[in-house]
Structure 1
Amino acid sequence: MTRRKADPAFVPFADDAAVRTLGDFSIENGTARIALHGSLDITRDREGLGRARDLRAALDAIVTALEGEDLPESVAEEPEAAAPVRNPFA
């Protein structure tokens, strides 16, 4: 059986751009929150086991990142206001 390695490009809470994709399921990185979208079928076969292990590895990385920090009680629900940007086409 092939062991899958963690995705080194996905470091939880490191940036606002990285996405880890598992089938139709995506884990979108953010510096304040990580968003989970889509669906993931974990079938009762070797492929399903591989998908389950990939999901566990991603969640373990997120939990490890959180456990290693001094966390606030909660994060504000409102997104930060975007700063105006000059139109490069104007």
Structure 2
Amino acid sequence: MTAKKKTFVPYANEADVLQVDNLMIENRLDRITISGDVDLTADKVGLAHARRLKEVIDAVLEKLDSQALPERLPPPDVTSVANPFN
């Protein structure tokens, strides 16, 4: 029995995190963050990792290609808050 593959809809929310080996793919409303590493080994596991990464990247490209995009996103708003531990 194989595990059910988690659906990843790019730019849909601020909550989804997909893991492929040690690679983390984090969903945001305005960006997808990819961090960590994955070995695409010459075996069935490496092939499965490569296919999953391709699925995610294909979904990202499809979403980006389907909308009007700005040249570049503005930097995020950064606010300072008082340290609650002082």
The reply to whether TM is greater than 0.5 is yes
AA aligned opposite 1:55: L
Number of corresponding residues? 80
Match of 2:72 in 1: 74
Map Cα deviations across residues 19-38 of structure 1 (whole Å, 9 max, x no partner).
11101101101111111100
Tell me if the contact between 1:13 and 1:32 (Cα under 8 Å) persists in the aligned partners. yes
Match of 2:84 in 1: none
Distance 1:51 1:22 in 2: 6
Q: CA 1:6–1:63 in 2, change beyond 3 Å: closer, same or farther?
A: farther
TM-score, structure 2 length as denominator?
A: 0.81
- Listed as ranges, the gaps of 5+ residues in structure 1 are 85-90
Tell me if the contact between 1:25 and 1:38 (Cα under 8 Å) persists in the aligned partners. yes
2:19 partner SS: strand
CA RMSD of aligned residues (A): 2.1
Distance 1:46 1:7 in 2: 19
Identity of matched residues, %: 36
- Listed as ranges, the gaps of 5+ residues in structure 2 are 82-86
* Per-residue deviation, 1:16: 1.1
* Per-residue deviation, 1:7: 3.0
